[in-house]
Amino acid sequence: MKYSYTLFFLCLLVPFVAAAQELPANSSVVILLTDGQVPANAKSKGTLRIKDGGFKTNCGYSQTFDEARRKAQAAGANIIKITQIKPPDGWSSCYRMNMDLYHLEELAPLIAEQQAAEDSAMRTLLPDTASYALLCVYRPKSGSGALVQYNVHVNDSMVCRVKNGGSYLVKIYHPDQARVWARTEKREEVVLNFQAGKAYFLRCSVGMGAFVGRPVFDVIDAAMGIREFNGTKAEKVVDSTEDPVYSVAGKQF
Domain locations along the chain: 2-106, 129-252
The pLDDT, as a whole number, for residue 136 is 93
The pairs formed by 121-128 with CB atoms below 8 angstroms and a separation of 24 or more are 121/226, 121/227, 121/230, 122/199, 122/222, 122/226, 125/169, 125/199, 125/226, 126/197, 126/198, 126/199, 128/197
Q: At what angle do helices 108-125 and 222-229 cross, to 10 degrees?
A: 60
Reported as a single tens digit per residue, the pLDDT across 199-239 is 999 999 887 766 678 898 999 888 888 888 888 877 654 33
Average pLDDT on 73-85 reads 94
Enumerate the β-bridge partners of residue 50.
Answer: 97
> What average pLDDT does range 90-111 have in this prediction?
90
What is the DSSP code (8-state) at residue 91? S
Res 124 pLDDT > 70: yes
pLDDT, residue 17, reads 37
Average pLDDT, the chain: 82
CA distance 188 to 93: 14
What class is the 2-106 domain? alpha beta
Q: What is the pLDDT of residue 112?
A: 94
State phi, psi for 150 to the nearest 5 degrees: -155, 155
| Cα 219 from Cα 233, distance rounded (Å) | 19
Tens of pLDDT, residue by residue over 51-73, are 887 666 778 888 899 999 999 99
List the single range of 113-117, 210-214, 216-220, 240-244 with lowest mean pLDDT.
Answer: 240-244
> How far apart, in whole angstroms, are the C-alpha atoms of residue 154 and residue 159?
7
pTM here is 0.74
